[in-house]
A and B are shown apart, each in its own frame.
Chain A
């Protein structure tokens, strides 16, 4: 158990819909990272937050947004969903930027029909 909790584990929705994925980082970790893993794109970095502030942005679509709340949990919002958004979405945390290993949650599997 990594200590990182992601909900929901599975989600099936239709094109055009909006979903919210939630992540609770490991106790004491201030940095939260979001990744998307699909078969054809591998593990893509989306965005990083540190203590509530956005710190780095990767290949995150404009239809996607995220935030980290004062209690350090984070949410990834995906809107106007397309078939190609079907993927495993991982949240990971660590104490701070550049402070060593990432602890990954078990992921949220999104299927867009």
Chain B
């Protein structure tokens, strides 16, 4: 069973715009991670936020975590065509990473 659920399922934006996607989860976690997957390829790690952190930045990525609401968000600023991909949140309980169904982001040139 999947732990996280991403919202929206799909997102289409213009190049240069920001993309925001959300993740909700059900049980307690040690950390939450975001991954990107280009069509049919392996997942690539983007960013990890620990349960005692509230916000983290990495380049054009900004992640927030609200453990009281069991939710996280990923913001991609100034999007580029190369950002077109599926984005997954994953909750880590030390034993396994449980992935959501993902958000498919399409960046139009």
Spell out A's residues near B (CB within 8 Å). 2, 4, 33, 35, 42-45, 48, 55-56, 58-59, 88, 90, 92, 97-98, 100-107, 109
User: Are B96 and A45 neighbours in the complex by a CB distance under 8 Å?
Assistant: yes
Assembled-state Cα–Cα distance A33/B97 (Å) = 9
The 3 closest A-B pairs by CB, nearest first: A104-B42, A98-B94, A101-B45
User: Are B45 and A55 neighbours in the complex by a CB distance under 8 Å?
Assistant: no
Assembled-state Cα–Cα distance A90/B44 (Å) = 12
* Known A-B contacts A90-B42, A98-B30, A104-B42; A48 and B101 likewise in contact (beta carbons under 8 Å): no
Assembled-state Cα–Cα distance A30/B48 (Å) = 20
Which residues from B are CB-within-8-Å of A48?
A: 95-96
Residue of A nearest to B3 (CB): A45
Q: List 9 A-B contacts (CB under 8 A).
A: A42-B99, A43-B102, A48-B96, A88-B40, A98-B30, A98-B92, A101-B33, A101-B45, A109-B40
Q: How far is the CB of A3 from chain B (nearest CB, A)?
A: 11
Q: How far is the CB of B32 from chain A (nearest CB, A)?
A: 12
Q: How far is the CB of A21 from chain B (nearest CB, A)?
A: 14
